[in-house]
Each structure stands twice: as C-alpha cells, then as structure tokens.
Chain A
C-alpha cells in the first residue's frame, strides 16, 4: 500500500500511561464532587472555564510546547493520553479545546515572538480560548473560495470585512485565527492571495450572532467583521501563505482522538447496559464496536507518534478522521438495533439521554473539520489517484 497512508506502530509510552492514571484519578474525583456531568460530544458543547483552568493548573494544556511559553515539553503521546481520558469521561473541555489543539501549535509555528510570549502562557493556564475562522456562508468545503477580505490602510493596519460561520464558541472566546483574502482572487491560482490574521474578538466592528444546532444548543456562531481594524503586526506567518498554513493546521485539527470518541460516553452507557443484561446480541454489537474502537486507537496513536517524530501526517490524519467519524455515527445505529430504548434528553435513563445527545449531534461528526467526501479525496490523492 502507498507509503503516504501508512505510519509506523506507536511505541508504548510509560510516561503516557503514568499521566493517564493521574488524569483518571482527577476525573473520578471531579465526577464524585459533582463538578461536571458526563455528556456526549463535549469538545463542542462542554464549555466550562473553571474546569479548563483546573486542567491548566495540572499542566495538561499546552503539554508539548516549550516551557518558556508556559508549556510542559511533554510528548504528543502523553498529550494523547490526557485528551483521550477527558473525552472518554465526557468532560467539559470545549472552552480551551481549539486553542490547545491547533491555535497554540499554529502560533508556535508562525506567530511572532511577542504573540507567543503574550498568548501561549494564557492558553496553557486554561484562560484564553480561540476560534477557527475558516468556513464562510458561501464557502464550506471549498475553502479557497472565501471572500472575507483584509486590506492595508495608510497606517499599515488591516481592515477586515466579511463573515465566518460555524465558529464554535466564538461568544466565549478571546481570539480567532481567521483566513482572509489579502489579494484579489486569481482563477489561475486559487490558493494564492490568502493569509491568516490573529484577531482579538473584542475589537470594534465584530458582531457574534448565535446559530443554534439541532438540540437547541448554542455553540456555533456567525462572526461578522465590519471595517474591523486589526493591528498590522497581527498577520500570522507570511502574507499570501495562508493556504499552506491552514493545511499544516489541519494535521492537528484532524488527527486527535476526538475524531472517534465524540460518542464514547454513549458506548460507555451501552457497556453498562450489556454488563447488566448479558444479552447475546448486545454482546456481539459491543464486541464489534469495541474492535473498531481498538483499531482506531492504534491508528490515532500512530499519528501522535508521528507528531513526536516531527512529521505532519496530513494524509493519514484525513484517513483516520474519515474512519473515526463514521464510527462515531455508527455507534448510535448499532446500539439502537440491539437495545429497545427511546432516545430522550429528559429521560432518567442515562442510555436514553446519551443516545438522544448523540443522535442530535451526529450530523456534525462527518462534516466538521472537512467533510468525509473531502477527506476521501485526500486519501485518494495519497493512493496516487489524483
């Protein structure tokens, strides 16, 4: 098989297993104290700044970053163990998730020294949250078609006009890394003329309008920019290099365990049910789902190990996200085929609640961060077909 799709097996990491045990102990104590309740898909819906600060205090944010920026210089394998435990417990991690996962690494790679010194330590403390400014009302999968525009004024600052959508938790966040057009669109070179700006969301001219998802939850927003003046030194990386930078960011966005564990709390409830009933069909379903989950863990661990080797495995990440998000949705279908339970957000039965939450969030799994059709196109490129 094409080498661009395969990664070496991840070595076992004792350090990762040690921090895993610490996180597990922390989560058990927090659950016992009632500081959070388990929910499905909490990396989108579980905003809890207090919880994020607790993780920061324990050194579980910015884990792989240099110490001089507030990081902890630990491995991607250790970070993997921490994020995986938080997701499996359905803990409220949405506030800091984007900043810790991709905005911080993006700043490390492309930010100025001043930006790194000011912002990264705040992210690592769990106090500073980011949004992704990529999609627009008329640009979903076709990201190169974005129209949000930034032009230089006479003082050398950027004036931004346009709108971004699906910006998760913009109403609770401090900054956005926003992809903008800094040169007119060139049909001959669609990826040229794009740049990334680091934008303080409290600037005048920015309006955040809620967009409610199927369960009524307010996570998504439309962020409108009207003559927003962004200081000239807030260009991230190189002018005109935005497409390349976004692509590098996507390796982080697409590669983590949140791409197969969004519905794990439902699988956990299903496991409790099967342990009670011992039902044969339910055991088979649990076994089949568990085999898929175990394979996905190994795939995702291989990506963490590749990140530790300094690689940016975009194509394997796209493949894992395709397989993983399909699994997230399949958990719902497989469970309801073998358990007679009516999904309900109000039910006293935790399985019925988890099923309801998962079902109402399900359409997002295979859309966010690149639709599965786009991902399969990337995999096809990895196979040498395009």
Chain B
C-alpha cells in the first residue's frame, strides 16, 4: 500500500543494499560505514525539528526509517537516536548534539548527578547501554528523575553484548561532566514508554521480515518432491506466524499513532505494543527456525541476523513481564469496572 513514507523507505533501502549485515564481534561492534551513509543522506535527524538541529519531518518518517533498518538487521543506533534520545533531549530543553554523531539512550538507575558550576558531574556506572563503545553521546534517564546528556569521548565502555552481538555494555561515569535537566515522574515514565515503543517498532519490522523469509523459503525448498509450503502442516505454521505478525503490526501502529497525537494513554499503548510484540517472538522465531530446518541454525544463513535480534529486543526496554504489570495496573486505574472503558480508550 502506498504511503507518504514510501520515498524515505526507498532511500533507506537503496543505502542498505551497499551494507550487508555481518556477524557483530567485540572488534566490529557496529556498522560505522552504514551510519555515515545514513548521516550523509540526512536520515539521522529525521523527525527531529530543524530548529533544534534535526532534519525535520514527521514521527511517521522516523518510524519508517527505523522499521526499514530493523528489517535490514542494520547495526546502527538509529532507533535510539530518532525515537528516544533525540526527542528526549529536545523535550528537556538540552542542546541536541550534531545528528551526524550517534546518540544513544539508557536507563541509568545507578548513576547520580551533582552540580559542578553551571553543569553537573556524574558518578556511578550505567549498565546495559545500547551501542556502548559506538555511540558518541548518551541521553541517560537518572533516578530523581532527570535526563543527563553526556559526551562519551574518552569514556570507557565495558564489553557486553545482547544475543545478536549488539553492544550493550556499561559506561563508567565517575567524574564525567554532563548537562542535566530534572524531569517529572510522568515525563520519565513516557520516556521509558518511548524506549519500549522504539523496540516494539523494531520487533514488528523484524517479525514481518522473518515471516517473509520463511514463506519464501517454504516455496523454494523441496522435500518429498514438492515445496515445503505445499504441506498442510507447514501451511498451518506459516498461517499461525502470519496471525502473530498482523496482530503485532496492528497494535504497534496504533501505539505510534498514540505517540504522534500526544495521547494521555501513550504509556499504556506502548506497554501493549511491547507485550504483544514480545509474545509474538515466541511463536514467530520458533516456527521460522522449524520451517528453515538445520540451515537456519547456522551463521551461514541470514535468518539468525533477525531471530537473534528478536530474542534480544523483546527483553530490552522492559520485558513482557515488566510491561504487562504496567498495562494491567493502568487499565485498572479506575477500579475493576473500569477495564472495558480503558481498553476502548487506550488505542
């Protein structure tokens, strides 16, 4: 279906053809060449207002870029920059770093800030930081709550990686200067939700691509004299995968709309998106591997680029366990009789 985002999607796809996904290692933690190509094309500032140093455009454009890159297994911190850290920095009134320099986001519960002249000095260690060692700047959600913007030049990044090999290391921030703005509890909770929604958008895109690959493989791979896809047992599995993918897409799209319209229920909408997307990974990744057979269990085949990311992203920015409680409590905020009115209001 045609949409206003077709052009931006085409541009990202064109760039991606020059950058095949590779197996990430401690030595090669991200795709800096792809990042430069995206930055040169002005895509690392999309959805961020020009007045703040971004490239302008709508949230829908930024989401389309993130989706396309996620489906392409792109090892770049674009979701963090365009959907989480960038908007958070701007909303807090802090200066957006140049959009050509990768900006990441992390929840840093063990980091504190103390005033030092006009700025602040941090102490503590931030763990599970996406793209630690690759990002040049970080926006950190501190207890308090507050948002800290840190230049990471010279900050040592610990070596830790998610199941897909994406950097999720720690940052030792003792004595590191930062710009800090206090946030309300509501702003902090919306920021966590935005992070979860960013991962949900990535999950939705990757789930859809995994389904496409699996349908294609089932059409190409012959056993017993016919394509796998002609076997009813396989058709049932692929249909079940499709049901999951369509469900995730529907609720993630609705949550993005809630964010775009500044809905008062954006936290619950994002919670629903993250829970539903995470739950779909169980079915889709398992059946994709089942249909692909042994070749899909190797690094020779491309499937792992996305299934390992699915298994990682579902637990990042809060797992289903975390967000299902948030969602249930929010839906019951007006008491047990309020469940239905809440369900019909959230998205």
Q: Which residues 1-45 of A have a CB within 8 angstroms of B? A: 1-3, 5-6, 8-9, 20, 24
Would B239 and A383 count as touching, CB distance under 8 A? Answer: yes
Would B347 and A283 count as touching, CB distance under 8 A? Answer: no
What residue of chain B has the Cβ atom nearest to residue A293's Cβ?
Answer: B343
B340 within 8 A of A: yes
Over the window 325-342 of chain B, the binary record of Cβ atoms lying under 8 Å from chain A Cβ atoms (1 yes, 0 no) is 111110110011101110
Contact of B240 among A5, A302, A376 (CB under 8 A): A376
B173 within 8 A of A: no
A119 within 8 A of B: no
In the bound complex, residues from chain A placing their C-beta under 8 Å from that of B331 are 271, 286-287, 290
B248 within 8 A of A: yes
A379-B239, A380-B238, A385-B219 known; A1 and B326 CB under 8 Å?
A: no
Interface size class of B (residues with CB under 8 A): 35 or more
**In the complex the two chains form, what is the Cα distance from A84 to B341 in whole Å?**
12
**In the complex the two chains form, what is the Cα distance from A297 to B242 in whole Å?**
17
Would B340 and A383 count as touching, CB distance under 8 A? Answer: no
Over the window 313-338 of chain A, the binary record of Cβ atoms lying under 8 Å from chain B Cβ atoms (1 yes, 0 no) is 00010011011001000000000000
Q: Return A44 CB to nearest CB of chain B, in Å.
A: 20
**In the complex the two chains form, what is the Cα distance from A319 to B212 in whole Å?**
16
B247 within 8 A of A: yes
Which of A147-155, A171-179, A272-280 binds B? A272-280
A214 within 8 A of B: no
Would A290 and B238 count as touching, CB distance under 8 A? Answer: no
A-B contact pairs, 6 of them (CB 8 A): A1-B246, A291-B324, A294-B251, A376-B236, A377-B239, A385-B234
**In the complex the two chains form, what is the Cα distance from A227 to B238 in whole Å?**
46
A20-B344, A274-B336, A322-B243 known; A291 and B236 CB under 8 Å?
A: no
Q: Return B327 CB to nearest CB of chain A, in Å.
A: 4
Over the window 348-386 of chain A, the binary record of Cβ atoms lying under 8 Å from chain B Cβ atoms (1 yes, 0 no) is 000000000000000000000000010111011011111
Would A302 and B250 count as touching, CB distance under 8 A? Answer: yes
New A-B pairs, 15, CB < 8 Å, besides A291-B327, A299-B250: A6-B1, A271-B331, A271-B332, A274-B332, A275-B332, A287-B325, A290-B272, A290-B331, A297-B343, A299-B247, A316-B246, A326-B243, A373-B236, A379-B242, A384-B215
- Tell me if B's interface is mostly helix, strand, loop or mixed: helix
**In the complex the two chains form, what is the Cα distance from A24 to B343 in whole Å?**
14
**In the complex the two chains form, what is the Cα distance from A68 to B254 in whole Å?**
37
**In the complex the two chains form, what is the Cα distance from A56 to B235 in whole Å?**
43
Q: Return A291 CB to nearest CB of chain B, in Å.
A: 4
A251 within 8 A of B: no
Would A379 and B243 count as touching, CB distance under 8 A? Answer: yes
A295 within 8 A of B: yes
A213 within 8 A of B: no
A223 within 8 A of B: no
Would B242 and A275 count as touching, CB distance under 8 A? Answer: no
In the bound complex, residues from chain B placing their C-beta under 8 Å from that of A268 are 339-340
Q: Return B217 CB to nearest CB of chain A, in Å.
A: 12
